[in-house]
Structures are given as C-alpha cells and as structure tokens.
Homo-oligomer: A and B are copies of this chain.
Amino acid sequence: MNRAFALCLLFVPLAAIASGGADAAHHATLLLWIAVILIAAKLGSLVERVKQPAVLGELLVGILLGNLGLIGIDVAAELPSEPIIAFLAELGVVVLLFQIGLESNVQQMLAVGARATAVAVVGVAVPFVLGTMIVGPWLLPGLDAKAYLFIGATLTATSVGITGRVFRDLGCLQSPEARIVLGAAVIDDVLGLVILAVVSAIVTTGSLDPTGLAWIIAKAILFLTGAIVLGQLAAPWFSRGFARINTGIGMKLTVALVTGLVFAWLASLMDLAPIVGAFAAGLMLDDVIFRDYDRPQLEADIDRALAGADADTRTRVGAAVQAHRHRHLEELIAPIGHFLVPFFFVVTGMHVKLDLLADPHALAIAVALAVAAIAGKIVAGLVAGPVNRWLVGWGMVPRGEVGLIFAATGMGLGVVTASTFSVIVIMVVVTTLVTPPILAWLIRRQAP
C-alpha cells in the first residue's frame, strides 16, 4: 500500500498540501505584512517634507516597527528574520543596484576608474590603520592584537545601498561624485575580500597562503572584467535570440531581469556581493541592446495620430518620444523596484534594536569608533580629484551589513568578544543613519 502510494503520487509536496491550512494561513499573514511594510515605507517618505531623502524615512519606519517591543507590542519582532521577508529584502537591494547600473554604463564608469580606485584604496587603508593601530587600542584597551585587526577590517567596508539610494532619491546619480562612489564601492568589495582573507588567515594559521590570496583576487577580477567584456559581446546575441521567440514587453523585461539575476549569482560564486554583479549587469545593458523588441504601444499610437501634422510638430513630438525611448528599460524595471526596494531599507531599519543605546559606555565607545570610521572615508574623498570631495567622502561612509559580516566572522573565530561586537554594531548603525541627511545637505548646498 505504502509503496503503491509512493509510486502513484503525482504531486510531490503532499505534506505541503496536507498542511495546506497552516501554509495558506502563513502565506496570507505574509501578504498582510508585505502590505504593511510597503505602506510604512511610503509613510516614511514624509521625511521629504523636511528635505530628507525618502530612504531615511524607510530606515526610520523600519526602526519604529522593529522596536515596537519596547512599548509592549512585539507583533513585528520576528519579521526581519522571517526567511521570505529576508529574501525579499535581499532581492530588493539586488534590484536597486541593477537599476542604478542601468542609469549608467561601462564607459562612464571606466572614465572615473582611476579616481574611484584611488578613493577605494585610501578608503580601505586609512580606516584599517586607524582601527588596528590607533582607535582600537585606545578605545578598547587590553584586547588581543588580533581583535584590533578585526576592528580595523570592519571599519573598511563600504555598503553602497544607502548611498546609491540617496543619490537616486535626490536625482544625482549622473554626477561624477556618484560615479566615483559607485566605482569605489565595487573596488572596495574586492579589497574587502582580500582583507577578510588576510586577517582570517593571520588569526587562524598565523601565516598567509599567497596562492589562495592570489586566487581570491583573480576570481574577483575575472568576474568584473570577464562578465563585462563577455557580457557586452553576449548580451546583444542573447537579446536577439529571445526576440525570435517573442518581441513583447514581457520578454524584454524578463531578458533584462534574468541578466541581472544571473550576474548577481555569478558574483556571489566569485565570493563578491550579489549587488556587485547586479550593478555590473545594469551597466552593461541599455535600450540599444533591445532594439529588436516592440516599441511601447503609446509611441505607435502617437505616431499614427501625428500622420497629418506639420513637419515641425512631428519633429518636436518625435523628440519628446525619443527622449523616453532610451529610458524604456528603466521604466519597465521601475515598478519592480518600487515593489521590492523598500523591503531592503525597512528590514535594515528593523534590525536596529534601540535598547542597546541604553548602555552609555558602549554608546560612547561606538560613537568614537564611528567618528574614526567617518574620518577615514573623508580622507579617502580628498583623493577624488576636482569634484565635491566631501560628497565623495561622505558617500563612502555607510558600513551597512558588510561591516557586520566581518565582525561576525571575527566572533566566529573567537577573536571578537560579544561586547566588542555590540560596539561595532552601534558604529554601523550610526554611519548608516547619519549619512542620508548629510549627503542631502551637501547636495543641496552645491545646487545653484
């Protein structure tokens, strides 16, 4: 009987069907939570009234939702660790960096390549030296020397999601400052890999394996150059291939999204952050690659309506339509971004537990550490060349989750203690929250 049943079962997840009630209820609850997160994010955009970028509002409503437990409402406490919500947040930042990549291209990024590299190298070296040799031993005396190595490493990481979003919220993604920060953040991710490998090797084996290190660097460079060079060759071919099946807008959107997702996966295969891959895919793709696909229906309808018009009108309306055509891909991805990106920032905010701030000693040390973290990146901004160097420096300030992964690795190796870890966590929160208002202020100040 049992065997016949196993043989006969046409649908796999019998357990899922049998427990359909529980699963369905969980899914329905998630639908509500998705709605709550989306609407909370939009309520957060009230901060635009006080000239702050919307992303700050999303972080703040996240902090509010995540700390309702402090006033006895713990309904949302488990939410940021709910696997589906956590994945939507990750997918959100991947889509964000893909969108940011779409608004630029490889040539524009290469044009700022040297300056971005300089900013990245200084922005890693200065905070590392500061953390390892000066502020670490001074603020947290008596720790093992290896702990200071990890504190220094934590100070080097740049998390590009916050800055990219601020530049985007304020319409500055096309500025040279934004490009330098984005380029530097990508290089930072590679340098971060190297530092993490070196520091971990020193702590665990006491020595460095040069082959392993070379391989880490080689993989990262292989991905960045290989994906972009081969990608630029393959993308038009891939795009034309799928246009033979169907030239609809759904196909165009799918081919673009799939490219972003595959690049994100490839990046993580090379130990880089998935967002680096999504950004590279966005840089590579543009509307020219998709010229075989259908035009938006509205364009065709307008063309028809213009048939009898004078040449002058046709030229002017044609120019207005043309100005939008090269943004069509961005406009297609935009709704998916509106849907997914807020998850990343609201969930990031929800991870912040305010009760930690109640410990004045830890808070003081963390703020001092944050000042060092900020100073190190502002020094990096100074080598950015003839641009607004403050903007570049502050753009590199947010540490985000990258710093936490470093700190958690140190804790896993038994080098970073729990109390040091919590200090690092506050430092990350401080750098994340002070950056949006300061960037907004710097951008407004330079606008005419």
Contacts and interface: CB of A to CB of B under 8 A. Distances in A.
A15 B408 CA distance: 9
A34 B261 contact: yes
Contacts of A411: 18
Contact of A320 (B77, B274, B298): B298
A146 interface: no
B305 A316 contact: yes
Interface residues of A, number: 114
Contacts of A35: 257-258, 261-262, 265
A43 B38 CA distance: 32
Most interface-central of A4, A42, A48 (chain B CB within 10 A)? A42
A353 B12 contact: yes
A84 B81 contact: no
Interface stretch (A101-109, A199-207, A228-236, A330-338): A330-338
Contacts of A254: 38-39, 41-42, 338-339
A13 B84 contact: no
Nearest to A265: B32
A386 interface: no
A299 to B, nearest CB: 9
A170 interface: no
A394 B188 CA distance: 59
- Say whether chain A's binding surface is mostly helix, strand, loop, or mixed: helix
Nearest to A36: B258
A121 interface: no
Contacts of A38: 254, 257-258, 261
Contacts of A297: 324
A319 interface: yes
Interface in A95-152: none
Given A20-B405, A254-B39, A8 B268 contact: no
B28 A253 contact: no
A388 interface: no
Contacts of A61: none
Contacts of A446: none
Contacts of A214: none
A30 B87 contact: yes
Interface string A253-281: 11101100110110011000010000000
B28 A268 contact: yes
Interface string A274-316: 1000000000000000000000011001101110111011001
A358 to B, nearest CB: 8
A1 interface: yes
A194 interface: no
A184 to B, nearest CB: 22
Contact of A302 (B7, B302, B412): B302
Given A43-B245, A351-B13, A5 B313 contact: no
A404 interface: yes
B32 A262 contact: yes
Contacts of A333: 335
B84 A83 contact: yes
Nearest to A313: B309
A261 B255 CA distance: 27
User: Nearest 7 pairs between A and B by C-beta?
Assistant: A8-B422, A28-B268, A5-B418, A10-B356, A35-B261, A309-B313, A301-B320
6 contacts: A17-B404, A28-B265, A32-B265, A35-B261, A42-B246, A250-B338
